[in-house]
Structure 1
Amino acid sequence: MSRVLLVNLASLPMDGNQPIFPLGVRCVQDALDRAGHVTRLVDFVEEPKGLVDLEWLGHEWDVIGFTIRNIDPIDITCSTHVDEYIAFAERVRTELDRRGFHPVLVGGGPGFSLFGSTLVGKLGLDVGVIGPGEQAMLDIATDPRSFKDRGGVIQGRRHCGFLTDTLRHPSSLMTAYTNAHRAMIGVETRRKTCYQTCAYCPYAYIDGDNAGDLKPVDVLADEIRGIHREGFRRIFFTDGIFNSELRYAKKVVELVRELALDGLTWSAYFTPKPFDEDFGEMLQGSGVEAVVVSPDSLDDTVMRNLGKSFDSRHMVRFLERSRKNALPVKVNVVFGGPGETRESVRNSARFINENLNDDELVMHVGYRVLPATALARQLGMDDDLLLYPTFYPFDLDVFNWVIQDLDSRFMTPQLMMNLMAGRASARKMARVEAMGVIAPAQGTTYLPLASRGSGNGCNR
């Protein structure tokens, strides 16, 4: 039996940080508890004073695990959380040295997994875990000293408890998140690597090899009932793509309908294909809050460059079926991808203007390059150089083209602020020749939005 402390770094107060319920680390804690280890989870939404007094370090822990969900803020252009993580880890190590404690320090979580080998050194950890953490942390807790000063990372692997164990969260932690935020909580229904090959997406790398486990609906039902009893009314199914396996997705939707829990709504990431007539009808009246799809571009050439398994025709069919069933839709579009040109921006804008309602567009400019993705391979950059925000090279005129081509009804204050912030950040970067497989038009100037640890992540 080991004493294991888990620290949710995603709950640190940082610019642009939006703490969400720590589902992943709770899965790890639940597995450790069931195996008989003594655990504690430190979350600064639940325990804000712990950020100052570090009283949770006053015990002789065998293992301390740090979980990192996001490397960058979601909504702030050209910024990073990395420096905050490094500074906090240094505070912890200093306090441990002062007390004479020498636990095994472990890193994990989806954000950590992207840069595991680099972050082990930068955070001063003994070892890191890439991908699902339950089984790896059980191995570490069984023999902590064998992992001391090990360095490097180990690959997470399948945890059979996912199929049998109902995940029930502590009431105090759930109360903290229902009180502190518009209450939404993640629910995991499957563990299977996404079949899509989007050029910017690292999900397959994070997930690693797995058995494609689908959580039994009776276990899922127990978890959802428990969440509802604790006061949550909004859930997000955390699958990479909710309807990637349509038959199972239909079972989950039918379960939600049968549970008929008062006030419960849900959302997820969807794909326009497969999305048949029956599925659209099932979604109607299920409490779905948003059917979120990410074509990212609505120009067929750029969609192919991005590795999408569908094209604009599938988007038209998806929207028709959504309209027929009065489904709330959100469409994510990111301008500035591989092969983006004046004409491709015009094509995407035309599709948006003709097919989307005012409140259905979610728009950004620029693709953050992450390790183990096609974009990273095109640029040929080492993983450690991508730790701070680096964006795929794009033409600065994209900002002007978007404003020129999109209907004014989409030009909300929030969208205009995002565009201005993106343009301001872009202008701080040094202009370079375009890199990558797809050549720019002659005379076009491209740039990478890149930074190398300059405090807030931006070159000044």
Structure 2
Amino acid sequence: MARVLIINLASLPMPGNEPIFPIGARCVEDALRFAGHFVRLMDFVESPQALDDFSWLNDAYDIIAFAIRNIDPIDLSCDGHVLEYARFSERVHAALDPKQTGGSRPLLVAGGPGFSLFAKSLVDLLGVDLGISGPAETVMLEVAADPGAFLGSGSILQGRRYDGFVERVLTHPPALMRAYANTRNAMIGVETMRRTCFQKCIYCPYAHITGNNSGDYKPLVLMAAEIDAIHGAGFRRIFFTDSIFNSQRAAKDIARLLGGSDFPDLTWSAYFSPKPFDDAFAGLLAKSGLETVVISPDSLDAGMMRNLGKNFDLASVEKFLKRCRAHGLTPMVNIVFGGPGETRETVRNTARFINENLRAGELSMHVGYRILPQTALAALTGLTEPDLLAPTFYPIEEQIVQWLIQDLDSRFLTPSVMVNLLAGRAAARRMRKIPATALRGETTDGFSHVALSREPA
């Protein structure tokens, strides 16, 4: 029987950080508890006083695990989170000094989606004994059976399938749910499947994070019970954390479930693909409390969409929008300017499509692609994990912002959008060059680029 402390580092107060309910850490906690281990989840939204009072570290733990969901803040005009994580881990190490603990110490472990991308670098930076890349439940159960066997190993274990995902209802502690239900725009995540994403977007590390999983789908009866508990705790907004919601084979059944009378006032959102997206599905979504139908073509220029690895085309986006209009659904289209091959003409083409097909409030727009390990974009630049630990972006033309101001209708250039665009331009201006020797070959537009990494302001 092991005593385990899980620290949700994503709940630390950091510039640009917006803590969200810690689904991943909760899954690991739930698995360990079900196996009979003692587990405590330290979350600083629930327990803000614990940031200053470290007395909670005085208990005798066999394992202390750092859960890292994100590496960067949502607001990319802020610096990354890595230094904050390192500073916090130093405080933990100081509190666990063997001189103060009688010579013994717990096994230190790190995991989570953000950690999985930079596992090699973060094992050293955080000074942990063990890293877990990918889904962590099964590996943590093995580690908890004999923590001493991993002390000082410095190794990284690959996460594997966990049977409990499809066998048991995931319920959350009432105190933790209350803490997050009281936050502004409170939303909680629900995981419906564990399946490698079928899309091939060049910037996305999702397939690496989830591992080689052919597909576990949470049974509808378990999902209904989980949502019922969430609704009962006061949450009225759910986000389905799947890579693509409509790749879920039970997507229509879930929409029917949410459209029933059991969850009054409940709304939800998720990431969708423009296909498959037929009229029958759109009709179910319209009755389900769906807030917005979020898709990410990232560009609305045909050539750029191919460059970015999209497995759908402009015609699919047009059909998707028509079905949304026909069924009274609100689409939200994510566009990120500045990918490989972006030119004055591709920006103009995307702006033209936006002006002709979208309404005010239906566009989410950003400038600059963060390069992450284990992606085609990283391979394109030749940059490795250590190069990318600091927020590193594919090089962009500073004129992009001016082009957008010229090309987009004024209804899309709201004050908040302008702040976002100007922040992107400011970030571009304070980037530093990485040596050109780091590059491998050319981009799809025929020009070699030097990747740029943002320096602190």
Distance change (3 Å), C-alpha of 1:387 and 1:430: closer
Are 1:415 and 2:448 an aligned pair?
A: no
1:33-432 maps to which residues of 2 (within 5 A)?
Answer: 33-77=33-77, 79-97=79-97, 99-100=100-101, 101-245=104-248, 247-430=249-432
Which one is further off, 393-402 or 409-418?
Answer: 393-402
Q: Which amino acid aligns with 2:443?
A: I
SS at 1:105 equivalent: strand
Contact 1:189 1:237 in 2 (8 A): yes
SS at 2:374 equivalent: coil
Distance change (3 Å), C-alpha of 1:396 and 1:26: same
Kindly provide the CA deviation profile for residues 210-266 of structure 1, in whole angstroms up to 9, marking residues without a partner as x. 240110000111000011111111101110000024x42111111212354111111
Q: Which amino acid aligns with 2:334?
A: N
**Number of the residue aligned with 1:29:** 29
Q: Which amino acid aligns with 1:81?
A: H
Please point out which of 421, 427, 442 is paired with 1:437: 442
Which one is further off, 122-131 or 250-259?
Answer: 250-259
Q: Which amino acid aligns with 1:154?
A: L
Distance change (3 Å), C-alpha of 1:397 and 1:440: farther
Contact 1:272 1:310 in 2 (8 A): yes
**Number of the residue aligned with 1:455:** none
Q: Which amino acid aligns with 1:368?
A: R
Contact 1:178 1:232 in 2 (8 A): yes
Task: Give 1:399 deviation, angstroms.
Answer: 1.5
Displaced runs of 4 or more, over 3 A = 430-436, 439-442, 445-449
* CA distance in structure 2 between the aligned counterparts of 1:203 and 1:372, rounded to whole angstroms: 9
Task: Give 1:60 deviation, angstroms.
Answer: 1.1
Q: Which amino acid aligns with 2:442?
A: V
Contact 2:72 2:81 in 1 (8 A): yes
* CA distance in structure 1 between the aligned counterparts of 2:442 and 2:335, rounded to whole angstroms: 22
Q: Which amino acid aligns with 1:57?
A: L
Kindly provide the CA deviation profile for residues 304-333 of structure 1, in whole angstroms up to 9, marking residues without a partner as x. 011000011100000000000111211100
* CA distance in structure 1 between the aligned counterparts of 2:412 and 2:89, rounded to whole angstroms: 43
SS at 1:290 equivalent: strand
Kindly provide the CA deviation profile for residues 159-181 of structure 1, in whole angstroms up to 9, marking residues without a partner as x. 00000110110000000001123
* CA distance in structure 1 between the aligned counterparts of 2:432 and 2:86, rounded to whole angstroms: 27
Distance change (3 Å), C-alpha of 1:151 and 1:431: closer
Kindly provide the CA deviation profile for residues 23-69 of structure 1, in whole angstroms up to 9, marking residues without a partner as x. 01000000000000000000000000001011210111000011011
Contact 1:68 1:108 in 2 (8 A): yes
* CA distance in structure 1 between the aligned counterparts of 2:258 and 2:401, rounded to whole angstroms: 42
Gaps of 5+ in 2: none
Kindly provide the CA deviation profile for residues 394-428 of structure 1, in whole angstroms up to 9, marking residues without a partner as x. 22221111111111111111111111111112112
Q: Which amino acid aligns with 2:125?
A: K
Contact 1:389 1:449 in 2 (8 A): no
Q: Which amino acid aligns with 1:99?
A: Q
Kindly provide the CA deviation profile for residues 337-370 of structure 1, in whole angstroms up to 9, marking residues without a partner as x. 1111111000000000000001000000000000
Aligned CA RMSD, in angstroms, stands at 1.6
Q: Which amino acid aligns with 2:430?
A: K
With structure 2 as the length reference, what TM-score do the two structures score? Answer: 0.96
SS at 2:242 equivalent: coil
* CA distance in structure 1 between the aligned counterparts of 2:131 and 2:302, rounded to whole angstroms: 40
Task: Give 1:447 deviation, angstroms.
Answer: 5.7
* CA distance in structure 2 between the aligned counterparts of 1:267 and 1:87, rounded to whole angstroms: 35
SS at 1:254 equivalent: helix
Contact 1:78 1:425 in 2 (8 A): no
* CA distance in structure 2 between the aligned counterparts of 1:303 and 1:55, rounded to whole angstroms: 52
Contact 1:394 1:447 in 2 (8 A): no
Q: Which amino acid aligns with 1:366?
A: G
* CA distance in structure 1 between the aligned counterparts of 2:65 and 2:324, rounded to whole angstroms: 43
* CA distance in structure 1 between the aligned counterparts of 2:306 and 2:144, rounded to whole angstroms: 45
SS at 1:180 equivalent: coil
Q: Which amino acid aligns with 2:403?
A: W
* CA distance in structure 2 between the aligned counterparts of 1:249 and 1:329, rounded to whole angstroms: 17
Q: Which amino acid aligns with 1:270?
A: F
* CA distance in structure 1 between the aligned counterparts of 2:76 and 2:420, rounded to whole angstroms: 9
With structure 1 as the length reference, what TM-score do the two structures score? Answer: 0.95
Distance change (3 Å), C-alpha of 1:180 and 1:304: same
* CA distance in structure 1 between the aligned counterparts of 2:314 and 2:85, rounded to whole angstroms: 41
